[in-house]
Structure 1
Amino acid sequence: MAQTTITTTTGEEATRVTAAELLINSPDPSSPENAINESQFPEPLWKAAIAATRFGYGLRPGELQIIAQDPKGWLVRQINDTSTPDEIQGLSKSRDHLKNFMKAQNEGREGLFKFRESARQNAMWEIGQHELAAFNSPNPFRERLVRFFVNQFNLSGQDEMMYPMTVQFEREIIRPYLNRTYYHLLLAAYQHPAMLIYHNNNRSIAPTSPTGDKIKVEMNESMAREILERHTMGPQGEYTEMDIKGLTAMLTGWTVGGLGSRNPGGFMFKNSWHDRNQKMFMKRIFPNAGMMEFEAAMDMVARTPRTAWTLATNMAKEFVSDSPTDTLITHMVRGFLNASGNIMGMAHAMIESEEAWTPVPGKVKTPQHLVISTYKALDRNPQNGRDLVRQQTQLGQPPYQPHMPTGWPKQSAHWVTPDLYADRIEWLTQIAAEDRLNAEPVDQGIAVLGPKLRPATARHIAIAPSKLDSTALLLCSPEFQRV
C-alpha cells in the first residue's frame, strides 16, 4: 500500500511529509468538535472518511483518496443507482415458495418435513448471498438504506415459512420501491404475502361479511396496529383504538391466494371476507369501497407530518446519532415533504445537513457493520456469504432474525453490553491474528480511517510490540468501533 503524503505549509515553505509522520507528531484535538478545524489533514479527506464509515460499510485501503474527490457526490450517486446486485439476481420468489409449501402440506408429514429442510437450507444460502451483496456493492450507502427499511418492516424469520420470505421481501419490496414514495412502499409492503402471513392478516375475516356471517371469526388487529405504531405515525402518534379498529376493518379480505386460486401464493383481495360497513379512521368516514378504503387511508397517513417525523427520527438514529437534534430531523422532514414523500428525498436531505458531517462519533457499529468493515479494513474477501453470516451471528446479530418484534435496536448501548462487547473484542483480536497485510501499521490505520485516526491511537499503534498487537489495537480502537 502506497504511503499517503500531505503538504504542510510553514510561512513560505511547503513540506511533503507522510500522513503517518504527520499524525504521530500532531497534538490531539482539544475536543472532538474541533477535530477538523485543528487537523493538518485537508477537509476532503475528513469528509471522505465520514462518508465511508458513517453512511457506508467502511474503507478498503486505497478508497479514501477516491471518495475524497467528491464525498457528498459519492453518496448522492448511490441514492440514484437502482441496479440490483449480481449476487441476488435470479433467487427464489415468495410466490413459488408458498406454492411449494401448500403442495407439501397436501403431501402429509413426510412432504412437509422435506419442504422444511429444503426451505431452511435455501434461505441460509440466500441470506449469505445478501451479505455478499452488501460486502461487494459499490453502493454501500444504498445497501445500508435497504437494511434500514428491512428492519423498519421487521419480518423476523423463525420458521420454515417465514425464514426464506424475509430476504424475498427485501428483494421484492424494499429494493424496487426505495426510490418511490413512502406511500407506494407501504402499499406494496402490505400486499406482500410475507407481511400478511406474519401478522395473520391472511386469516382476517369480518364477522359481518358474507363469509364471516356463516362462521364464527374475529378480525386480527396485528397488522393495523403495527402500521400505525411502527411503520408510520409511531407510538406517540395522534391515533386512537378506534382508528386501529377502523384500519383493521379495511384490511379484512387482504389475503394470500391458495393453490386453486387465480394467484396462488400471491396477494388476493377476497371481497366476501371484507367488512361492508363504513369505517371511521382519523376522524374521517370511509364508505364501503373494497380495497380502495385502505389505499386512501395509507395515502392520508403517508403524507402526515407525524409519519415524516417518525421516519426521519428512525433514519437519523440509524446513521447519525442515538439522539438526533430537532434541527436535523426537521431538515430531513422538509426534504421528504419537498420531494412529495419520496423516500430518497429524506436520505438526500440527511447527507446535505451539517450534522451529518460532524467529526464527533454518534453511533457504535452494529455487528453487521463491524464484520463487513473489518474485512474491508484488512483487505480480505470472505470465502462465501456464510462466513459473514456466521461472524455476525457470533457477535449477536444473526441476519434477518431480530430477537424482538420491533427489529434490531437503533440505540448503540444495545451492542456494547459487557457480554456483547467482550465477544466483539475477542473476535477482533482473533481476526487480527490472521492478518497478512504488509503495510506499516499506522499507514494501514490511515488507509481505513483517514484523519479520524487519533494521534494518540497512532502513537500506540506505532510502538506496539508486534504487527498482531498493532492491528488489534487499530480494530479495537474507539475510532474503528464508532462512526
Structure 2
Amino acid sequence: MVSKDAFIAANRFGLGPLPLELDVIAKNPRGWLKRQITAEQKTPSLLQNLPNVAEIMSTYTRNRQMGNRGQNRGQGNRGGGNRQRGGNTFRQQQGQDYIDSVYSRTLNMIQTPAPFAEHMVKFWSNHFTVSNASRKIVGPIAVAYETDTIRPHIFGNFEDMLIAVAQHPTMLIYLDNHISMGPKSQMATNPRGGDGRARARGLNENLAREILELHTLGVNGGYTQTDVREFAKIITGWSFGGRGGGPEGPNGFRFKRWFHEPGPKTLLGQTYDSGTVNDGLDALKMLARHPSTAKFVATKLVRHFVADEPPASAIKKIEGVFTESKGNLAKVSEALIDLEEAWQSPFDKTKTPYELVLSTYRALDTGKPDKKYLMQTLGELQQTPFKASSPAGWPDVAKEWLNPETLMRRIEWMRALAAKLPRSVKPEELFADTIEAVASKQTKFWVKAAPSAEEAIALILASPEFQRR
C-alpha cells in the first residue's frame, strides 16, 4: 500500500517517482532516502564525456588571443570580417556546448536511481549559483563547475565545498575575481604589472560580498561593508591559468601574487597577514564554521525541504547538527530526513518549473526527451538551468513561481505533452504511480470522468497534487 510518506519521500526529497517506484519506497521511505547518502559521489555516466573546464577555458583563451593578435596587427575590413566570423563560430559553439551539457545534466536527473542525491546537487548548485545570464562564457562551463565543486561534496563537508566553489574558474569569472587587484598590489603600483602587460583595474568586491551574503553568513549575519572590502583584499590574486604565480591548483586555480594586496587584512575581528593563498583559505574555513553560517544554511535547507515559511523548530534542529558536526553534510542530510515537520503535509512546497519537468518525465518514463523540445520547454517555463538572473539563484517559494500567467503556461505544456505521448502510457497506471495516495476526491472524479486517455493524463499532470511536493 502506497502511503503519504512514500509520496513525500519521492517528491519532496526526491525528484518525483519513476513508474512502480512508490511501491519500493513505501516499504521504508526514510531508509530509501538515507541509503542514497554516500561519501563518494561518482560522476554520472551521462556527464563523464562532457568537456572539462580546462578544455573549455583553453579554447576560450585561444580564441581571445587570436582576436587580440588580429586587432594588434591592425587588419583591414577583410580581416575584421574574418575575425567576426570566427567570433560568431566560437559563440555558436559556446551556445551548443551549453545546451548539450544542460541536456545531459537534466537527462541524468530524469533517469537517476538516486534522486535524493541529485536533489541535493540541485539545491547546492543553486546555493552557489553561477549563471550565463550576464556572463556568456559561464554557460558552457556551468555543468563542469557543478561536477567539479558540488557533486563531490553534497554529503561531504560544507567547508570543502565552499573552498572548491570559491577557487573554481567559473565562479572566479562569474563574479569578476580574476580581474580584482589590491590597491597596493604590484599590479596596481606597476603600470605593466607582474606579467609584463599593462592593466588599469582595481579591487572588485563581487565575490567577497556574495560569499558573505549568499554563501555563508547571510545578509543579516553580522558583517559590515568594511568586512566585505577586507575580504575582497584577502582573496585578491585568486585567479586561474596564465603565467607566473603559484603552482596550478584544482581545476586550474592559480594564486597570482602580483594581484594580491600586501599587508594585514581584518575580517570579522580576525587578522590575516601571510601574504599567501592561505589567508583566503583560512578566512573561508572561519566563515564555514561561523554560527551565522549554520543558521543561514539551516534556514535555506528547511525552506527548501519543509515549507516556504520554515518552522523555527526545524531550523534550530538543523542548525544544531550543522554546528556540532562542523558542517558534515551527510549528518545534516540525515537530520533533514528525520525532521517530523517535513512529513506532516505532502503539499507544503510547490514544484519549480525545473522540478516539474523532471518529475513529469520521470513519471512518464517514455525514453529520452527530444533535446530541442526539452530546452524550449524549460525556456518557456522560465527556468533553464544556470540562467538565474542574479547570484542569489532561483527563488524557493511558491509566490515567485505561481501566478495566473505561469500557471497557464504549465497547463498548456501538460496538454501539449499529453498529446504527444504514445498509447502505451495509460492514465490509470500514471495515476497509481504518482498521486493516487494523496489525491483529493475532486481530482479522482475529474481524472475518472475524462473523455479520453489524453485528457486524463493532462489532468493528472496539471493536478494540484502533482504540481506540489
Q: Normalising by structure 1, what TM-score?
A: 0.86
Shift in Å, 1:478: 0.8
Residue 228 (structure 1) aligns with: 212
User: How far apart are the structure 2 equivalents of 1:256 and 1:379?
Assistant: 42
Matches within 5 A, 1:282-361: 282-361=268-347
Matches within 5 A, 1:155-166: 155-158=130-133, 159-166=135-142
* Residue 146 of structure 2 corresponds to residue 170 of structure 1: yes
Segment drifting more, 101-110 vs 431-440: 431-440
- Determine if contact 1:154/1:405 at 8 Å carries over to the other structure: yes
Residue 435 (structure 2) aligns with: 449
Shift in Å, 1:259: 6.3
Q: Which amino acid aligns with 2:440?
A: R
Residue 46 (structure 1) aligns with: 4
RMSD: 2.1
* Residue 96 of structure 2 corresponds to residue 121 of structure 1: yes
Shift in Å, 1:263: 4.4
User: How far apart are the structure 2 equivalents of 1:340 and 1:477?
Assistant: 42
Residue 39 (structure 1) aligns with: none
> Which whole-Å deviations, capped at 9, do the CAs of 1:360-404 have from their partners, x for residues lacking one?
411111111111212232332234444433322221111211123
The equivalent position to 1:192 in structure 2, one of 154, 158, 168, is: 168
User: How far apart are the structure 2 equivalents of 1:404 and 1:381?
Assistant: 33
The equivalent position to 1:85 in structure 2, one of 44, 47, 54, is: 44
Residue 396 (structure 1) aligns with: 382
Shift in Å, 1:123: 1.9
User: How far apart are the structure 2 equivalents of 1:405 and 1:334?
Assistant: 27
The equivalent position to 2:262 in structure 1, one of 264, 276, 283, is: 276
Matches within 5 A, 1:51-62: 51-62=9-20
Residue 237 (structure 2) aligns with: 253
The equivalent position to 1:420 in structure 2, one of 380, 384, 406, is: 406
Segment drifting more, 218-227 vs 78-87: 78-87
Q: Which amino acid aligns with 2:145?
A: F
User: How far apart are the structure 2 equivalents of 1:404 and 1:211?
Assistant: 30
In structure 2, stretches of 5+ residues that fail to align are 68-82, 192-199
User: How far apart are the structure 2 equivalents of 1:362 and 1:392?
Assistant: 23
The equivalent position to 1:181 in structure 2, one of 144, 157, 182, is: 157
How many positions carry a matched residue from both structures? Answer: 441
User: How far apart are the structure 2 equivalents of 1:307 and 1:422?
Assistant: 38
- Determine if contact 1:252/1:274 at 8 Å carries over to the other structure: yes
- Determine if contact 2:42/2:152 at 8 Å carries over to the other structure: no
User: What SS class does the counterpart of residue 48 from structure 1 fall into?
Assistant: helix
The equivalent position to 1:464 in structure 2, one of 422, 425, 450, is: 450
User: How far apart are the structure 2 equivalents of 1:131 and 1:104?
Assistant: 29
Q: Which amino acid aligns with 2:445?
A: R
- Determine if contact 1:59/1:377 at 8 Å carries over to the other structure: yes
User: How far apart are the structure 2 equivalents of 1:163 and 1:379?
Assistant: 28
User: What SS class does the counterpart of residue 218 from structure 1 fall into?
Assistant: coil
- Determine if contact 2:265/2:271 at 8 Å carries over to the other structure: yes
How much identity, in percent, do the aligned residues show?
Answer: 34
User: What SS class does the counterpart of residue 268 from structure 1 fall into?
Assistant: strand
Shift in Å, 1:184: 0.9
User: What SS class does the counterpart of residue 174 from structure 1 fall into?
Assistant: helix
Shift in Å, 1:462: 1.7
Residue 201 (structure 1) aligns with: 177
Shift in Å, 1:179: 2.5
User: How far apart are the structure 2 equivalents of 1:245 and 1:270?
Assistant: 19
> Which whole-Å deviations, capped at 9, do the CAs of 1:397-426 have from their partners, x for residues lacking one?
112111233211111111112211110011
1:438–1:98 CA distance, 2 compared to 1 (3 A): closer
User: How far apart are the structure 2 equivalents of 1:381 and 1:477?
Assistant: 23
> Which whole-Å deviations, capped at 9, do the CAs of 1:26-79 have from their partners, x for residues lacking one?
xxxxxxxxxxxxxxxx6x622111100111121233111111121111111112
Residue 23 (structure 1) aligns with: none
* Residue 460 of structure 2 corresponds to residue 474 of structure 1: yes
In structure 1, stretches of 5+ residues that fail to align are 1-41
Segment drifting more, 258-267 vs 131-140: 258-267
Residue 97 (structure 1) aligns with: 56
Q: Which amino acid aligns with 2:234?
A: M
User: How far apart are the structure 2 equivalents of 1:409 and 1:147?
Assistant: 13
Shift in Å, 1:286: 2.2
User: What SS class does the counterpart of residue 212 from structure 1 fall into?
Assistant: helix
